[in-house]
Amino acid sequence: MTEKTIAESARLRHEYLRHDKKFPHVWCPGCGIGIILGSLIRAVDRLGLNKDKLVLASGIGCSGRLPVYVDFNTIHTTHGRALTFATGIKLANPALNVITVMGDGDATAIGGNHFIHAARRNINLTAIIINNQIYGMTGGQYSPTTPYGSLSATSTYGHIEHAFSISDLAITAGASYVAKGTVYHVPALDKLITGGIEKEGFSVIEIMSNCHTQYGRRNKMPDPVTMMKWFRDQAVSVTKAAKMAPDELAEKFIIGVLADRDKPSYTTEYQHIRDRALKVAKNE
Ligand SMILES: Cc1ncc(C[n+]2csc(CCOP(=O)(O)OP(=O)(O)O)c2C)c(N)n1
Ligand code: SF4
């Protein structure tokens, strides 16, 4: 690292972390969530957002701990309900930038219905989903994204359910912006998060992250480096994927911006209804 980079990361740490209160953090050494925390902070800084006008909401899980460490307005809610709290906050004060951070279990198992309908309504929120393919915090039970055949605390003979794709689900349900990244491709991840925050409407950034402790160790990837190499080798960019045959893509996953479309957000539509109702009430 150059002196300039060291000074820059010290500035970001000082400005955005609750460094004097909440550390040391709870994550295992080498957990991917710390990388995502860095990306989020750089995205917020790059966009020049006022941190007093930014709300970070999470549910419960290792991923859900992230807001505890940042000096924004933060709310650590109940498991699966980050989007419901975030929706209420955004509708009560549309001027706020509202971001949620959720694990794959949090967002798509217990919180799955809220996720689908937040996307369908196109609520103007940013949803960061940390997909480590497992329930990390509670000891490695399988989640909706645990791969078929893999081992977990609740699939000790190999998982018999099929995983779904969070990004595909978000696209089908109607999100305005859907992107997928990994903790290996960090500069690209910074850009994907920046794009999601900037976008009007519901944005989803699904991030493949390593839980070597609960997932990797059971599946022949016992340390962060092995998991990072797996992300490096399995990920294919959108541009490259467009030139590949379906069978070449069978074992891979696609990263980059997967959907970016404009349509009215619920938040804007709701404001129009409020304005109309006020006019009716005043007989205008
Ligand atoms: C209503 C409710 N059910 C279950 C739990 C227990 N619980 C806490 S975190 C968690 C799953 C965490 O997995 P995930 O959301 O994927 O996040 P990770 O820990 O992997 O980041 C569960 C089941 C809870 N806290 N509340
Ligand atoms: S259990 Fe997994 S997700 Fe949780 S902190 Fe450890 S490595 Fe990260």
Task: Tell how far the Cα of 63 is from the centroid of ligand 2, in angstroms.
Answer: 8
Confidence category of residue 78, pLDDT binned at 50, 70, 90: very high
Domains of the chain: 3-281 (3.40.50.970)
| Residue 70 near residue 16, CB atoms below 8 Å | yes
61 lines ligand 1 (CB under 6 A): yes
Global pTM reads 0.97
132 lines ligand 2 (CB under 6 A): yes
Kindly tell me if the per-residue pLDDT of 179 is higher than 90: yes
Q: Per residue in 121-149, pLDDT tens?
A: 999 999 999 999 999 999 999 999 999 99
* pLDDT value of position 1: 81
* pLDDT value of position 283: 87
Ligand 1 mutation target, pool 66, 134, 135, most atoms within 8 A of CB: 135
Rounded to an integer, what distance in angstroms lies between the CA atom of residue 254 and that of residue 249?
Answer: 8
Atom 5 in ligand 2: residue holding the nearest Cα: 27
Shortest-distance ligand to the CA of residue 214: 2
Rounded to an integer, what distance in angstroms lies between the CA atom of residue 284 and that of residue 281?
Answer: 8
Q: Which is the closest atom of ligand 2 to the Cα of 61?
A: 4
Rounded to an integer, what distance in angstroms lies between the CA atom of residue 85 and that of residue 235?
Answer: 33
Centre a 10 Å sphere on the Cβ of residue 109 and count the other Cβ atoms it contains: 18
